Amino acid sequence: MPTLRWYFDFVSPYSYLHWQKVKQLPQFGRIQPVPIAFGAVLHHLGNLGPAEIPAKRRFMYRQLLWTAQAEGTPLRFPPGHPFNPLAALRLCLAAGASTAAVDVLFDWIWRDGHAGDTAEALREPAARLGISDVEAAIGELAIKEQLRRNTEAAIEAGVFGVPTLAIDGELFWGNDSHPLMAAVLDDPGLLDRPDWQQAVALPVAVQRSR
């Protein structure tokens, strides 16, 4: 069975919410968490982050708090958002991008509401992961290169947002898309339904203005 890749960034509260569901999937043992720099994906696509659009930011934060309450998931915002997640992403990779590392860092930032943007802010979760020298861990060239490679591979795979679960090369994006992801994991033949195939093959009918 192929490995399932779950692309995420700690700057994304939707990734935090979705991670709680991912861990409950029967296929969880096949899922590889892949930390990526979401900002680099947005830059590649020429898009703004959702929290950089004022009206979208207000809607998103309210919707996030409502969703977390509805799903029974504790959520507390860090001191500032959006924040620079590179330190947290690199620390996760330094800890092997393990389930424990993803858990500890998501809980630190989004369950408990701590900052996750500097080595100093991450000393406590790093210690929980057995890393005493945070600066050295996140400054290691191999770790920086791994994050760059992860992000480039995600862009090459077509990832346009986080969280995204890649199932046999097909991308499923967003916390609210989890029921669809679970359905396709249980029955990959859903992707071969004639009406689904017809819909995704539709031509683009509207031309962009120049």
Distance in angstroms (rounded) separating the CA atoms of residues 34 and 151: 9
Alpha helices in the chain (DSSP H): 13-22, 38-45, 54-71, 86-94, 99-106, 123-128, 134-139, 141-157, 178-186, 194-200
Residue 182 scores a pLDDT above 60: yes
- State the pLDDT at residue 205: 84
**pLDDT digit string, tens, across residues 187-200:** 999 999 999 899 99
**pLDDT digit string, tens, across residues 11-54:** 999 999 999 999 999 999 999 999 999 999 999 999 999 999 99
Contact of 135 with 119, CB cutoff 8 Å: yes
Residues 6+ apart with CB under 8 A from 95: 101, 104, 126, 129, 130, 131
